[in-house]
Amino acid sequence: MSGSNASLFERALRVIPGGVNSPVRAFGSVGGTPYFVERGEGPYVWDAEGRRYIDYVQSYGPGILGHAHPVIVEAVACAAGDGTSFGAPTEAEVILAEMVVDRITGLDSVRFVSSGTEATMSAIRLARGATGRSRIVKFAGCYHGHSDALLAAGGSGVANQGLTGCDGVTDGAVADTVVAPYNVVPELDDTVAAVIVEPVAANMGLVAPAPGFLEGLRTACDAVGALLIFDEVITGFRLARGGATDFFGVMPDLWCFGKVIGGGLPVGAFGGGTDLMSNLAPIGGVYQAGTLSGNPLAMAAGRATLELLDDDAYRRLTSTAESLAGGLTEAFTAAGLTCVLPRVGSLLGVFFGQPRPVDFDEAQLLAENGLYPRIFHALLERGVALAPGAYEALFPSIAHDEAVVDETVSIAADAAAAVASDLL
């Protein structure tokens, strides 16, 4: 054992800004000391003090199979034995690209990168290059990674820090970014290169697209010749085998992927139709590159993950999300806590309070009412780890079986009762 969580955090604070390599992990918005993970297996993680948690963080999405799935471990180990990075193309990249093209209707061509941030950043550059236009429309509360132009009103990562903007992002960098409210189709004109959207918003808690919203975006983009970009970094390969396009029947011009597509290794991807993707170097004039792009370990993990995500896996994920939504609602409500657990297929979120949010302003009201940190800590003490921030979704994996869900629900009932009696 490597020491207590507190002593590890103390060491981390000395050599890593805020002790963490991604802000939400520091527990800033819920208070307290983060637990340091020693290892994970299936639905569980164990911290440095040997405490076990049922884990609904799952790396914020990549852990769709649960931690350390033996097939993934084997695939990565096997790839590592053949060399970890070459700077030359490998068959593994072709195989994963073929799998993505096969799954996503309308996507013919895909470029791999190393994070979701790179995927959205590159898709935006491509959209601007292809249209010769500058402006980008994004929606408040949608998170598209931490590139300058997309940080405006950025949902979870930014919202958890209580920041409205971000120091170091120049006015120039966001001058061509227009922020619109989620679930309202914005007025567009012919200066707009692209509209980027999370087809299900999963970085302001979970907010479903209103009926007609995605279809409306498609029509509005077509009317002015703007491109529609689906940021499927969370929804991709989670909502359905074919992602949001499959689930909602609306087709964007460009797709961005991350998280699930790397099976826990650093991978992102963006893709679209052949003509549009031909604007990228080395064919076209839009430059985009990466030393570790298409990394063999990452491609192997992504391939093994997608192979395991068959129809049965999606049925199970959806039914797990359903049982969790039902069970947790009952547990919280029985204790007298009002809550909303929005669910779209296998995607699940939790808000404490009412009514069900439809945009970032409404989500913020519930996320900032002080209840989430109390419930978060009551659950954590009892062995259930939600994300340490009210703007994050829940990420059950296929390893969260019925017994794990039942245990979660009974722990939640106990935690909710404790919080409710505290509030009296």
Contacts with ligand PLP, residue ranges (CB under 6 A): 115-117, 120, 143-145, 198, 203, 231, 233-234, 258, 268
Nearest distance from C-beta of residue 98 to ligand PLP, angstroms: 23
Nearer to ligand PLP, 97 or 151 (CB): 151
Distance CA 191, CA 33 (A): 47
Give alpha helix (H) positions in 51-110: 70-81, 91-103
Q: Which residues are bridge partners to 111 per DSSP?
A: 270
Nearer to ligand PLP, 233 or 367 (CB): 233
Nearest distance from C-beta of residue 401 to ligand PLP, angstroms: 25
Of all residues in the shown chain, the one whose CB is closest to ligand PLP is 116
Nearer to ligand PLP, 306 or 371 (CB): 306
Distance CA 323, CA 270 (A): 33
> CA torsion sign, 160 to 161 to 163 to 167?
negative
Nearer to ligand PLP, 34 or 199 (CB): 199
Is 271 in contact with 255 (CB distance < 8 Å)?
yes
Nearer to ligand PLP, 183 or 203 (CB): 203
- The total of other beta-carbon atoms located within 10 Å of residue 70's CB is 9
Name the catalytic one among 35, 143, 182, 314.
Answer: 143
Nearest distance from C-beta of residue 67 to ligand PLP, angstroms: 18
Radius of gyration of the chain (CA): 21
Q: Is 231 an annotated catalytic residue?
A: yes
Residues 149, 245, 144, CA angle at the centre, nearest 5°? 20
Nearer to ligand PLP, 144 or 374 (CB): 144
Name the catalytic one among 138, 253, 259, 372.
Answer: 259
Name the catalytic one among 231, 253, 314, 391.
Answer: 231
Going by their DSSP bridges, the two strands 254-257 and 227-231 should be labelled as parallel
Closest residue by Cα to residue 92 from 398, 311, 306: 306
Is 253 in contact with 105 (CB distance < 8 Å)?
no
Nearest distance from C-beta of residue 258 to ligand PLP, angstroms: 4
Nearest distance from C-beta of residue 120 to ligand PLP, angstroms: 6
Q: Is 189 an annotated catalytic residue?
A: no
Distance CA 232, CA 182 (A): 16
What token pair was written down for 249? 């029947």
Nearest distance from C-beta of residue 319 to ligand PLP, angstroms: 23
Nearest distance from C-beta of residue 112 to ligand PLP, angstroms: 13
Is 311 in contact with 142 (CB distance < 8 Å)?
no
Closest residue by Cα to residue 27 from 42, 12, 49, 45: 12
What are the backbone angles phi and psi of residue 128, rounded to the nearest 5°? -65, -45
What beta strand segments (E) does 244-362 contain?
254-257, 268-272, 339-340, 343-344, 347-348, 351-352
Nearer to ligand PLP, 255 or 332 (CB): 255
Nearer to ligand PLP, 145 or 327 (CB): 145
Nearest distance from C-beta of residue 160 to ligand PLP, angstroms: 13
Q: 233 Cβ partners below 8 Å, 6+ apart?
A: 61, 116, 119, 120, 144, 145, 198, 256, 257, 258, 259, 268
Q: 336 Cβ partners below 8 Å, 6+ apart?
A: 420
Q: Is 82 an annotated catalytic residue?
A: no
Which positions are annotated as active-site residues? 143, 231, 259
